[in-house]
Chain A
Amino acid sequence: MAATPTREVARRVFASEFNDASYTFKESDDERAPVYVLLPTGERANRVFLVGTLTETEDVGEDSEYWQGRVVDPNGDTFFMYAGQYQPDAASMLRELEPPAYVAVVGKPRTYETDDGDVNVSVRPESISQVDEATRDRWVVETAQRTLDRIQAFDDEDSAEMDEYVQMASEQYDLPVENYRRAAVGALESLEGEQRDAPEA
């Protein structure tokens, strides 16, 4: 088979876990090797797919346009994204969209260390599109599912061979995965609440 580089899968993660994913690593010394952030539930992510409410857009650039977007998940936690001249499609979406709006975002995780030594995690969007509530709801359930799968693998201490990334997460982070189970519960409860409140069709 020809060695076509395989496309990186887009992980599903709620904002609270994503923003905790401050540890990055590469799997080879090659300069162009993909950079991964390590999710605290024990999975590597070189790409994410998220759907949420765009609540604010702002051009924070000094010399040229550099757009910041805030996308909020059902728990009220925020994904931050930044798009400049090298992401023209995403930047023009952030320029044109009127918040609030449901958006779907495909992008790469990026980390940035502040002067205080904190690490901020953000998304560099590859694409942003405006979507409907049904798409947002499906993303919430799917993301809860993927998060719970990761938590179960993390907690599965019986497994003879501990997963490489689970092991890495337990070494790199001191973060109880219980927090992320609660994030999944909270997100699902907010959907349930909305569905109950919705008028009968």
Chain B
Amino acid sequence: MKIGVLALASVLAAWSAAAQQQEPATVGYTAVQAERENRDEPHFDAALRDVRNALDHLGYDTYRYLTSGSIRADYGQEAELELTDRYTLHVTPLSKERDGRVRAEIRVTKERDERDEDGNPIKVNALRTTSRLVPGDELLLGAFDLDQGDLVIVLAVGAEG
């Protein structure tokens, strides 16, 4: 009886302490193909309206929408998403800080032309970063070469994440 009650207390305490990290983190992403086409005025695809401010300073004159969505990942678990035929986005939420920021490891891997002994494509980290992200603020990752232009990724941690 006594041990049971003490065990219950421990479980409650652990549950309470972990409550804020139980919810998976949500990371929104938008992949953009940025190019220089010698335009007089920069062009943004209509689908990029929400991220235009984040892209404005980059110096390209053409921004084309590639894909967008959100990744939902448990803390400590890596989630990955293929952005193009060669680039994959990997997100691992590490912890949620007391100030609300989400500490995460983010990787963008690039698939090489060569294959390993088993015939699988060899991937390298085109970028690897660990950051503490304010929910709602944008994190810009680039520039990763594409056949035409560069790949730029806009990330934002969800407010609930």
A and B: bona fide binding partners: no
Q: Residues of B at under 8 Å CB distance from A?
A: none
